[in-house]
Every structure is written in C-alpha cells, then in structure tokens.
Amino acid sequence: MGATLTGPLLPEDEVVGSVGLVEKQFWHFASESDPLILDNRMTLAQVDVAYETYGTLNANRDNTILILHGITGSSHAAGKYAPENRTLGYWDPLIGPGKVFDTNRFFVIAPNSLGGCRGSTGPSSPNPQTGKPYALSFPIITIRDMVRMQERFLREGLGITQLALVTGGSMGGMQALEWAVMYPERVKAVAPIATTARVSARAIAFNEVARRAICLDPNWNRGQYYETGNETPQDGLALARMISTITYLSDEVMREMFGRKPASEETALEHDLHARFDVERYLHDEGEKLVRRFDANSYLYLSKAMDLHDVSRGYPTLEEALQRITAKALFVAIRSDDLFPAHETAEMVRIMQGLGKHVEYFLMDSAYGHDAFLVHQTRMIPALRRFMASL
C-alpha cells in the first residue's frame, strides 16, 4: 500500500481578511490488497484526493475542522492561489485568523469529494487498468462512500483520527451528517447546513431532469467524450445547471432580482423569439460558467449520490440512526430554501432533542433560497460563533 502527500502551503502573504496564499495539495492512495470498498461492493484500488489546509495541526492532532463542499464545489474554501486572483475561496469569510473557523486555533481541511472533477478521483480520472478516463465505468458512489474515503485520507494520509468539527452545506451537509453517524467516536461537533436527512421526491425529480438534459446532448456519447476534442456535452451540462439554479433560488428572490425585466430595455421581446428576459440571461450565464469548470459525468454521479442519500438507510428508523450521534450538533436551515426545506432540518432537531442529544438549531433569515449558505454566509456567523465558543 502506498500513500503520498504533495504540495505544501505557500508562504503567507498579506491578503487582507484571508488565510493568504494557498496551494492545492494531493494525497494518492493505492492498494490492490486493501481497496476502498463502496456501498455497492465495488472497489477502487487507487484514489487521488485533492485538498487544501489552513492553520496548524496541534501536537494532539485533535484540532481539525473538516469543511465539505456542495455538488459543484471544490477544495478551494479560503484564500487565493495567486495575489492577482480576483476571487477568494467559497467560504473565505468564515475561515481564517480570528474568524468563525479560527485558524489560530484550528487546523482546517477542505477536500474535494470523491466522484468530482476538481482534483479528486471521478469519472474523468484515468482508470489505472486502461489508462483512459473511467467515464461510465466509474462505479456508482454514495455520500457514505465519500465519507469513507475522507476517513481513510485523514487517518492514513495525515494521521488524524479525531475531528473537532465537521461541517458543510448542501451535499457537504449530507457528508457532515454521515460523519457524525458513521464515526461517532471521532467527531466532537457537527454542523450540517442547508441539508437533509434524506432527499425528497421533488429534489430527486429535478436531479433526474438535469441528468436527462446531459444524456440527451448528442455530444455526451454515453459518457465517452473525453477524447473527442471540443465535442463535449456543453449544452446538456449548461441546461442541467439552469434547471438546478431554479431550485437554488426562491420565488421571493427571483421576483426581487428579476421580476419580468428584459435583459435589455431596447430589446423588443414580442418581435424576437430568442430575446431574453433578465432571468433567462441569468440562467444562461450560470450554465455557461459551470461548463468552463465542471465535468458532465461528475454531475451525473454526484447528483445520483445525493439522490441516494438517506442517513437512516441500514437502520430500522431515522431515530435509531441519529441515536448514534454523540457530537454536539448545530443544524442550520434557510427560511426560503425550497430544495431542502427548513421543516426537514427541524425534523432532525426534534428527534435529537427527544433523544436527549446536545443539539442547537438556527434558522437563517434569507430570501435567497438554498444558495443562501454561500451568498449570505455571513448571516450564519453569530450562531456559528456561539457554537464554536462551546467547543
């Protein structure tokens, strides 16, 4: 069995309000005799994990915060890769010296999920048996499989077996919840954000329509598009993103942001079939942006993993699954979230309260919908700061 770590942090710079300059790092796992065994009993004998770290691991190796991302996210949670970069990591306001996830106190790790396309092994990665991208030969994975890989990476790659906190939003929140159920003895605190114990039929329906958009793109070619040059399923992936974006925003914020405004006041909408309302322009922009940074097959696999998510699977009831949690818990829901409604979070909180667990609940007041955990993330700071002070 071999495991290698590459890519140390770059020296700190003076990026105001941030952890500074960071570099993506990689852990390579390879073992024919002890592969990663997935929920469906298929195996992966080689896996790469891309990740970033912020702060310093203490001598006891027990001050780690694990940050987990959403479906199209990455390991880039804070800082910049270069001084000239215009954007910071997706949760930069929360991570850094003196911030909620205080890097003066904690060692923060943000990995890229299994099945993704931002450095960790997924369908676009080379199959070691063929040397060509897995494509649809990549095995179906679950949220639990992502967590199993993270546990192995932390234990074997970094020598970390105790976590001070596991947190994340949306798909990241699903993983945080599974961490607390699967490895209760290793997780001191957990903060699932804008997530659910099991995906609803409505959410599954939207994901299926998005997947169908990709599969109907003639350039998808049953997933075999990696060696066809520029002939990739860009239109299908863009449409999938447009569909999902509708679920991320609430009707309230769409009225406020767009209403029925045309994209251009000079455009005569009634004379041009392709003239766009402002909301149409926004959706097309979101689709085009995702195409530039994401793989269509990864979208298929990760959305299916979310559909398969049910933290009670394998247990007689949801109550018995949540009974396993020993960590202090803070559940964060968003008032206007239509994808994973607040009542789904409140159900978990009620169950855990009935079980006598240490559980707190924060309902974020935002009209933005599901995406508020990214767009209005600073509104979580007071609740998160109180929770972190108790650790």
Side chain identity, residue 76: H
What three-state secondary structure class fits 302? helix
Q: What six digits make up the tokens of 71?
A: 């479906």
DSSP state of 323: H
How far the first Cα of the chain sits from its last, in Å, is: 36
Is the distance from CB of 35 to CB of 43 less than 8 angstroms? yes
Range 256-262 contact pairs with CB under 8 angstroms and sequence separation of 24 or more: 256/367, 257/282, 258/282
The neighbour count for residue 385, using CB atoms within 10 Å, is: 14
Residues in the chain: 391
Greatest CA separation for the chain: 69
Cβ 187 vs Cβ 181: under 8 Å = no
Cβ-in-10-Å burial (0-12, 13-18, 19+) of 377 comes to buried
Q: Give every CB contact of residue 347 below 8 A, 6+ residues apart in sequence.
A: 197
Active site members:
170, 337, 370
Using CB atoms within 10 Å of the CB of residue 333, give its burial: 0 to 12 exposed, 13 to 18 middle, 19+ buried. buried
Residue whose C-alpha is closest to residue 92's, from 54, 51, 63: 54
